[in-house]
Amino acid sequence: MFKRALKRMLELIHQRSYVMTLHAEEEMSLDDLSVFDIERVILTGMIIERQRDTITLEWKYRVRGETLDGSTAECVVKMGPTGKLVFITVYTL
């Protein structure tokens, strides 16, 4: 499910074409995650849910995958208006 969206996310990670929101960076710090952990979550992950933002009406995706140490984490991402992948939040499970 959502194969095309995940394929695009993988391409953007490989191109390093993504941005982190301030909230995502704060959550990474709280969970002791690096940007490499977050990249790996997308590279090893699967989309487990697609949500519609009630304010902007944009689609956002919950992606669950593995960090560098093999633990499970999730990212909530969307495709930004500039074509970059936007990390909204990240957290470990």
Pairing between β-strand 18-20 and β-strand 85-92 as defined by DSSP bridges: parallel
Q: Spell out the residues 6+ positions from residue 86 whose beta carbon is closer than 8 angstroms to its own.
A: 18, 19, 21, 77, 78, 79, 80
In order of their start, the domains of the chain are: 3-92 (3.30.2310.40)
- DSSP H or E segment with residue 4: helix 3-14
Separation between Cα atoms, residue 80 and residue 49, nearest integer Å: 18
Over the stretch 18-65, which tens digit does the pLDDT of each residue have?
Answer: 999 999 999 999 999 999 999 999 999 999 999 999 998 999 999 999
- Is the pTM of the predicted complex or chain greater than 0.85? yes
**pLDDT: is 91 or 1 the higher one?**
91
